[in-house]
A and B are shown apart, each in its own frame.
Chain A
Amino acid sequence: MSTTKSEWPLWEIFIRSRQGLDHKHVGSLHAADAQMAIENARDVYTRRMEGVSIWVVESRHIHASNPAEAGALYDPANDKAYRHPTFYDLPDELKHM
Chain B
Amino acid sequence: MEKNLEEIFQDKIDREIRIEPKDWMPEKYRQTLIRQISQHAHSEIVGMLPEGNWITRAPNLRRKSILLAKVQDEAGHGLYLYSAAETLGISRDEMYEQLHSGKAKYSSIFNYPTLSWADMGAIGWLVDGAAIMNQVPLCRSSFGPYARAMVRVCKEESFHQRQGFEILLTLSKGSEAQRRMAQDAIDRWWWPSVMMFGPKDDESPNSLLSMKWKIKRFSNDELRQKFVDICAEQVKILGLTLPDPDLKWNEERGHYDFGAINWDEFWQVVQGNGPCNKERLGARKKAWEDGAWVREAANAYAEKRKNRQSVNAA
**A94 → chain B closest CB, angstroms:** 38
Residues of A with C-beta under 8 A to B305: 33, 35
Q: Residues 26-59 of chain A: 1 if any B CB is under 8 Å from the residue's CB, otherwise 0?
A: 1111111101100000011001100000000000
The reply to whether A36 and B302 contact each other, CB–CB distance below 8 Å, is yes
Q: Which of B286-307 contact A (CB under 8 A)?
A: 288, 292, 295-296, 298-299, 301-302, 305-306
The reply to whether A1 and B302 contact each other, CB–CB distance below 8 Å, is no
Known: A2-B295, A36-B302. Contact between A29 and B22, CB under 8 A?
Answer: no
Residues of B with C-beta under 8 A to A10: 83, 86
The reply to whether A32 and B299 contact each other, CB–CB distance below 8 Å, is yes
Residue A6 CB within 8 A of the other chain: yes
Write the chain B residue with the least CB distance to A48: B156
**A54 → chain B closest CB, angstroms:** 15
The reply to whether B83 and A47 contact each other, CB–CB distance below 8 Å, is no
The reply to whether B91 and A8 contact each other, CB–CB distance below 8 Å, is no
* CA A66 to CA B148, docked complex, whole Å: 21
Q: Residues 59-79 of chain A: 1 if any B CB is under 8 Å from the residue's CB, otherwise 0?
A: 000001011100000000000
* CA A47 to CA B148, docked complex, whole Å: 17
The reply to whether B93 and A2 contact each other, CB–CB distance below 8 Å, is yes
Q: Which of these, A2, A26, A30, A64, contacts B22 with CB under 8 Å?
A: A64
Residue A4 CB within 8 A of the other chain: yes
The reply to whether A33 and B76 contact each other, CB–CB distance below 8 Å, is no
The reply to whether B92 and A30 contact each other, CB–CB distance below 8 Å, is yes
Q: Which of these, A8, A27, A47, contacts B298 with CB under 8 Å?
A: A8
* CA A6 to CA B298, docked complex, whole Å: 11
Write the chain A residue with the least CB distance to B80: A27
* CA A28 to CA B84, docked complex, whole Å: 8
* CA A66 to CA B20, docked complex, whole Å: 11
The reply to whether A47 and B302 contact each other, CB–CB distance below 8 Å, is no
Residues of A with C-beta under 8 A to B22: 64, 66-67
* CA A46 to CA B23, docked complex, whole Å: 29
Interface size class on chain A is 20 to 34
The reply to whether A6 and B299 contact each other, CB–CB distance below 8 Å, is yes
Write the chain A residue with the least CB distance to B77: A44
Residue B100 CB within 8 A of the other chain: yes
Residues of A with C-beta under 8 A to B302: 32-33, 36
Residues of B with C-beta under 8 A to A33: 301-302, 305-306
**B34 → chain A closest CB, angstroms:** 16
The reply to whether A1 and B100 contact each other, CB–CB distance below 8 Å, is yes
Write the chain B residue with the least CB distance to A59: B86
* CA A32 to CA B303, docked complex, whole Å: 9
Known: A27-B83, A29-B79. Contact between A8 and B299, CB under 8 A?
Answer: yes
Residues of B with C-beta under 8 A to A32: 298-299, 301-302
**A88 → chain B closest CB, angstroms:** 31
The reply to whether A44 and B100 contact each other, CB–CB distance below 8 Å, is no
Known: A7-B91, A35-B305, A68-B24. Contact between A28 and B86, CB under 8 A?
Answer: yes
Residue B234 CB within 8 A of the other chain: no
Residue A19 CB within 8 A of the other chain: no
What are the 4 closest A-B residue pairs judged by CB atoms, nearest first? A33-B302, A32-B302, A32-B298, A28-B83
13 more A-B residue pairs beyond the given contacts A6-B296, A30-B92, A33-B302, with a C-beta to C-beta distance below 8 A: A1-B97, A1-B288, A2-B93, A4-B91, A4-B93, A6-B295, A7-B91, A27-B148, A32-B299, A33-B301, A36-B302, A43-B72, A44-B76
Residues of A within 8 A of B (CB): 1-4, 6-8, 10, 26-33, 35-36, 43-44, 47-48, 64, 66-68
